[in-house]
Amino acid sequence: MVGKTNADSAIDPAIALNLVVTGFNGAYDGSSHTITATVAEEYQSATTFRYSTNGTSWSTTKPTRTNAGTTTVYVRATHSTLGTVEANTTITVTPAPVTLTAGSLNTKYNKYGNDQTVNTYTCNVSGVYFPSTVKAYGSGTNVGTYSVTFSGVTLNETTDTSGNYVVTQTVNGTITITKADADDLGLRVWDYSGNYDGSAHTVTASVSVTSGTTIQYSTNNSTWSTTAPTRTAVGSTTVYVRAVNSNFNTATAQGTITIIEAKATLIVNWANGVYCSLFDPAGNAVFSANTSGYWTGNPTMTGEYRAICVNTDPMTRTVNVTSTTSGTYYIAW
């Protein structure tokens, strides 16, 4: 740019000196930048340059600019005989482009059902900080994939706190939640074992995580039902149990229903210190010489059982056992 001269001369200083000033326009790089000013080669040695940023205060030192923004620089080129020519230009530093990347998370489902969140992000240039209004956030609870996205960011407008960097790109993050361990379901199975009583019995199962969990049963480990199998007859049944929840790996366990053949009870009471013997229907001694005054056991056959006790009246008492699998039979003095 060419300005006025204060010299009265037949030679036009602006044309003769040919003052050329070149500014700077580029992205912030942490370095200081300035302008260049030249005149025609034949006048260089006798020309003095002065610079100003306000057109009032002048210096022989070139102004510089490091941070983003624009500085207008005024230039005076004064030749010893031709006079002074003025021009101006600008130093423009634009914010450097940066990319913000939201945080990501790969994790297992929280067994307590708590939300899992991400609220972090990074910049591809270290040491760059943004206002608190710039945020990245994502949240997920169940097994699945969730996005972590930005708020408070306008591309090509939002700058860092120094103003030297501008966000030109954002990259969303991802929260990936996979199934929790099967053990976290807390599946427990209790066996059943008892004497035959004509009723149906089954195992008992429970889980510590009840929400969303289904307990299933099988007797062949292949066909499953939410109804627990039962057993009534004497014998045993293996019951396979599994706990199914979409947020957990399937937990498995097994239990047993055991029905024991019931037995009748035979009780003999007599006076303490009395010698006593008990005989089954076949004449076999069940016990003898027992001086405790009390005996209890399970009859092994039906028919008449005889208790013979000395020094008692009567010496012999009997009971007719009609079943070995039920009932309580007494012989007492």
Enter the pTM of the model.
0.73
7 pLDDT above the threshold of 60: no
Q: Which pLDDT does position 311 carry in this prediction? A: 84
CATH of domain 13-94: 2.60.40.1080
The whole-number average pLDDT for the span 98-108 is 98
Contact status, residue 195 vs residue 233, Cβ threshold 8 Å: no
CATH architecture type of domain 182-260: Sandwich (2.60)
Sign for the pseudo-dihedral over CA of 140, 146, 148, 150:
negative
Both tokens of 301, joined, read: 């056959």
- Tens of pLDDT, residue by residue over 120-143, are 999 999 999 999 999 999 999 999
User: Among all chains, which residue has been given the structure tokens 């995580």?
Assistant: 209
- Tens of pLDDT, residue by residue over 45-92, are 999 999 999 999 999 999 999 999 999 999 999 999 999 999 999 999
What is the total residue count of the chain?
Answer: 333
Distance CA 11, CA 178 (A): 85
The phi and psi torsions of 328 (rounded to 5 degrees) equal -125, 130
Both tokens of 11, joined, read: 């030679």
List the chain domain ranges.
Answer: 13-94, 97-178, 182-260, 265-332
CA 49, distance to chain mean position in Å, is 67
Task: Please report, rounded to a whole number, the percentage of residues in the chain having pLDDT higher than 90.
Answer: 87
CATH architecture type of domain 265-332: Sandwich (2.60)
Distance CA 301, CA 281 (A): 7
